[in-house]
Amino acid sequence: MKTPISSIVLVLIGSFIGSFGAVFLKAGSGMLRRNLRSFLFNWKLMAGICFYLLSSVFFVMGVKHGELTILYPLVSLGYVWTLLWSRVFFQEPLTTAKFVGLATIMAGIVLLNLGNR
């Protein structure tokens, strides 16, 4: 079974959307207190959860017609986006170690996708 490009694109879209989920969860976590109300009425936290749910919809649609061993590693591309968003929204530093980690993730994705031929 060969994984169609449409499945790859759906999973990549899901990964991109999911990276915004992480951003909103972090932004919302700063407003949490020790009560349920701060959780339930925290729009940033709820937006993060919604982004993760939406990304799951794209992931499920993508894996329907493709190989999970090819598609699931593509989810890790969300780390690439998250690194960018962390810098843009939270001014987190970009370090050599982070870039080495991302290069390792990218190399792994390339190697795993060679099995799609």
pLDDT of residue 13: 95
- What mean pLDDT is predicted for residues 62-73? 88
Report how far apart, in Å, the C-alpha atoms of 71 and of each of 23, 24, 32 are.
Answer: 23, 25, 34
| This model's pTM is above 0.85 | no
The least confident of 10-19, 32-41, 92-101 is 32-41
Our count of domains for the chain comes to 1
Summarised one tens digit per residue, pLDDT across range 38-60 is 777 889 999 999 999 999 999 99
Q: Give the domain range for residue 105.
A: 5-116
Q: How far apart are CA 48 and CA 26, in angstroms?
A: 8
Give the H/E segment covering residue 13. Answer: helix 5-29
